[in-house]
Each structure stands twice: as C-alpha cells, then as structure tokens.
A and B are shown apart, each in its own frame.
Chain A
Amino acid sequence: MSINKLLVANRGEIAARVVRTARAIGIRTAVLRHPAEIEAPAHLIADEVVMIEGVTPVAAYLDIPQIVAAAKKIGADAVHPGYGFLSENAGFVAALEEAGVTFVGPTSEVIDLMGDKVRARAFVEARGFPVAPSAIEDDDPTTFVERARTLGYPLLIKPSAGGGGKGMRIVREDSTLKAEIETARREGQRYFGDGRLFVERFIERPRHIEVQVMGDGQGNVVHFWERECSIQRRFQKIIEETPSPALSPEQRQDICKTAAGIARAVNYRGAGTVEFIYAPDGAFYFLEMNTRLQVEHPVTEMVTGFDLVAEQLRIAAGEPLGLQQDDIGQTGHSIELRICAEDAAADFRPAIGDILLLDEPQGEGIRVDSGILDGGKVTADFDPMLSKLIVHGADRAQAIARAREAVQNYVILGVTTNTGYLDAILAHPDFASGEVSTGFLAEQADVLTAPGEDVSGLLMAAAALSDERLVAEVMQIPEMHRRMGGWRN
C-alpha cells in the first residue's frame, strides 16, 4: 500500500514536525484542533485542520472513536500518533485496524507487551538481557512488601502500567515503605486505572541512556545509536544529547546491540526506543521500551542524517527497512533543549500567559521544532513544553557553545520559560565534563536557580521608559516648569 493522506493525531511541535516531513515526501496532511486551542504552527502548514470536541482539550485528543471517525471522514489512509496521547494505546491501534486505517507504529500486541512494565521486564529478562533486581507485586501480593525489603534500600516503586515518571517513588527508609506503596498505588490507579506495582533496587547516581531502534516487522532491525537523557526534573527529561559522554566505544556497541536485540525479539515494526539505567560501574539494565517516536528523536537525526519520521512512514506503508546497520553512522554531537513554560526557581511550576513577543534562534547547526506562534497563548490545558531547540556541533564542546548562544537568543516574552535555567545547566562545569546523573538537577538546584547579576536598575529604567502613560505624564512637567521658568532637578 502507499500512504496518500496522513492524519496526525497530536498537537504542538510534534504535529508540525510530522506534517513537515509528510509534505516533503508528497503525502497530504491533516491535523486536529480543539476549539480551546490557539492557532499553532501545525494548523498553518497542514493541508487540512479537523476540529475535535471534548470536555477538556486533552480529553478530545484521547477520544478514540472521535479520532478514528475523523480519519475516516477525511479519507486518511494512515494516522501518525506522535508521542503521548494515544501513541501507545493498543485500543487505538485496534480501532484503526478495524476501520481500515494504517497506524504508523508497531502492532497492538507489541504495544500491549511493552506497555505493561512487568510483562516487558519478564520478557526481556527471559531472553537473557539485563534487568535490575526487582520484586513484582503480582507474583505474590501477600509477600510483596517483604520481598521489596530484601532487595535492600534505596528502592524505587513504580506502577506496573506506568510511564513518564508518573507515580514513581524513591524509598530510602523502611519506615516509609508501606505509606509510599499506598501513595504509588493511588497514583497508578488514577493515572493508568491500574494500581499494581513493582519495586526495584534504585541504582544510585544512575544515568539514563536510551537507544533508537527501527524495525520493519519483517525481521529487519537496526539501531540509530544512543541518546543520553540524564538531565531530568521530576523524572522528566529536559536536555538530551548524543553521543553519550559516558560511554566508551565498546560500551556504546554493547548497549546499542542489546537494544537492537530486544527489538528483534519482538519483531519490532516502526520507530522505538529502548531505555536503560546506566550505573556508575558501567553496568546497564533494561528500563522500558517506548513503542513510538520520542520527544528527543531530533538529536539522533542531527548526527545520523536520517529523517526518522520519513522512515516511519515508509515502514508503515509496508516497505522493508532497506538499511543495514553499517549504513548508519554518527557525525558530530547534538544536544536538545526542551523549552518549557515553567518557573524553574519555583519548583518548575507551570506558567501560563500571552506570548507577546517570539523570536526563535536560527543559524548554522540550529534547529527549532516549535509548537507556538508569536501572539499566541500558553494555557494550562496541555503539557508545558512549548518547543525544542536542537543544535549540532562538530564535537560536544562546540555543540554546548552553540546551544548556549542559541538559548540565550531565544526570545519568548510574556510567559515565564526555562531558557535561563537551561543555559545555567549548560554553563555548569559538571555538565561540561559530562559528570552527571539523573539526580544532577536536584543536587545542583541552588546553583542552577541562583539569581544572576543584579540588573534591577536596568530593568526599572526599561519598564519606566516603555510605559507610555508614565512618559507622557513626565513630559508634561518640564513643559510646565519651563513655562514657570528656572526649574532645576
């Protein structure tokens, strides 16, 4: 089959990013929009915009029957789910299948398997791949707490059906174990409708390293090397890069081959990511597999030269992979910064507001995947990520320098963003030396959010002189005094 018309069942920067590639390869495109949503880049570049309804905008993007009906109505022969929302929902895949619409992604069986963290771990472990020591509640609920204890503290509690850091708890003391289990269970129940848990030994000072894989469901699987995503706040990544500064060439081969082996074991189709916890001693353990395109996929594209969305669409159309592992090289270094509407100094509180002025950086080695427009609005309806700034450099030092310059020149006025915070991370000596773990942002919180040089005098002058009413009032006075004569300040 071939794909003639693609519905992107997502929004924000990823909807625009998918549309761009689809258009470039001659596929007609449609995107969704809820009435509460402000106009976004995807709405301007897609061939068609389909309005969807829902009590909340998020509910509309999760409404399987409505989105399947939209795909049918506009004659889309394929749906790209982006990330988040319905991208890892096996029910959505089944509903599309029934409607005769191609899902750009893996089979519902693979989504089901990898979506259940407990089953996925067991599957991976049974095939000889490394997993961290753990206790699974379902094995025997009556002894769960006891088995968790014997793993030794610190422990990490996770919902079996979880993802994205939701409901995860670190437990360091036995006295809080039971209470934390109950909290995690409640959160799991609420977010995933599933209160089952598992506990694993929490690896101290871990790094998060993941591998991009791609398969065609016809037995062919390749990897596109690793990404390091250890810079996280609240278990969520905000800076990603490739190659990882932590890995030796041998370790890089080892972890990438392991990931490809896991994807091969499920005869994977489409783009996926195998995530690992990397311990300070060089050991790594399977964490989970995300059966979709990742937010941070652009860094992989920057160093390999491949357009992963184009590859996804080719495979969804039934073509074989047509790539050998040796075809995929890595050139230079790439870093992605997630630009979020949030106040890093106030515990990453999401910010809302009007985008009064937007001027995104451009230049050599700079790519911006943006979901916002000048004059737009940031509301609390969606995730606070506004856009992604991706840079490429000949080496890591050049990539960091480019990222710093670009993020400093990223002008977003009217809503609080984390651009200054991201720059502070890039400027930190431990980031420059690559000596980070997933706890880095929490450990360095005071340094990273320290107020800079006091520029309040300059700011007051700028605010006063740009206040038209104030300036008009002030200008009345010299006029008056001139008339009175002899006025001196």
Chain B
Amino acid sequence: MRRIFTIGGNEAECWLTHDGSCFVLNTPDGAVPCRLDPTGAPGGYRLRVRGLVRDIRLAVGHEATFVHMNGRAFEVGRVDPVERLAARAGAAGEDRLLAPMPGVVVSVAVKPGDAVTEGQPLLVIESMKLETTLTAPRDGVIAEMPFAVGDSFGLKAVLAQLAPQEE
C-alpha cells in the first residue's frame, strides 16, 4: 500500500508490504524490514528498522503522526493522494495570500475590485508583537479581503484573494 509523507518540508513516498513474516518498508532507497512493538508507556513503542532499534513515543493526529525519537520531536505529515490531486487541479497558489503565521490584522490597504501590482502592500498584520506588511504576489485584481482591522486569523488563513488570471 502506497503512502506519501512529508518530513521537514520534503515529500517522501513509500510502500508498506508484508512478506508473510514481517513488514517491509519500500522506498526509492530500497526495501527494509521493520516492526513496531508497544512498550507499555503511553504512546511508547520500540521501533526496529533493519538493524536499528529506537525507543520512541508516538501519537497519531488527524493529518500528521508525531514521533519523539533521539530526544527530539518530529512531525510526519500524511498526504492523502486523492486530496493532493484535487488541490493541484484547483486554484493556483499565487491567487491567494496565506497567513505566514497566526496574528491580528492591523490595517488593510485595498478593497475588492482594486487593481494591484506585484509587491504592492495589501495589509499589515501583527504577530508575535511585530508588524509585517504583506504584499501582492502578482499583478491582478483583488477578489476578496476576508479580514477586517482587528480580526485575528490562524496560520495559513487566506488573507487576500486575487481574481483568477485571465489567459
């Protein structure tokens, strides 16, 4: 069975199989036997991959699996292949200005219908006690400015939407 994971921003693809005696993880680098056994501690497992043995703590979230290993916490994003195909067919990324971090809107410089040029300031946000000016990713026309001054938003919220580019 195929799975796509994201680790540290990079996508990695693998297949999990079972050869009748143990699981085998198949990656572009080759096939390795692996197993995962609970240790009894909450979320505690002993992970064996080829000759390596690691005692890890693990928690499965909605979109990612979280692993504490070697004294560090790692996030392994699970990519749904179906959703990813849908996203590719959808709106081009540069039509939307996504929040680089959660914050509050300090000021809004444009309104729907305004023509903007690449680099033009669209709004000022405040996160972590600092102001950041967000600018138009390309030339175009503002379709939507979903947040007003004083509104708070989460990470990756759409802060500005440009009308689709006409070919």
Contact = CB atoms under 8 A, between A and B. Distances in A.
Interface string B12-50: 101011111001110101011011100001110101010
Given A458-B69, A463-B67, A356 B61 contact: yes
Nearest to B10: A456
A347 B17 CA distance: 39
A354 B61 contact: yes
Contact of B42 (A359, A451, A456, A471): A359
For chain A, the bracket of interface size reads 35 or more
Interface string A339-355: 00000001111111110
Interface in B45-79: 45, 47, 49, 52, 54, 56-61, 65-76, 78
B106 to A, nearest CB: 7
A466 B130 contact: no
A459 B66 contact: no
B165 interface: no
A463 B129 contact: no
Contacts of B47: 458, 461-462, 465
Interface string B71-105: 11111101000000000000000000000111100
Q: Interface residues of B: mostly helix, strand, loop or mixed?
A: strand
Contacts of B130: 234
A164 B129 contact: yes
Given A348-B128, A459-B76, A462-B56, A411 B68 contact: yes
A187 interface: yes
Contact of A467 (B3, B10, B69): B3
A413 B41 CA distance: 14
Interface of B: 1, 3, 5, 7-8, 10, 12, 14, 16-20, 23-25, 27, 29, 31-32, 34-36, 41-43, 45, 47, 49, 52, 54, 56-61, 65-76, 78, 100-103, 106, 126-131, 152, 154-155
24 contacts: A166-B129, A187-B131, A190-B126, A234-B130, A349-B128, A356-B60, A357-B43, A380-B154, A408-B71, A413-B57, A413-B68, A413-B73, A452-B72, A458-B49, A458-B69, A459-B7, A460-B3, A462-B36, A463-B67, A470-B1, A470-B3, A470-B16, A471-B23, A482-B20
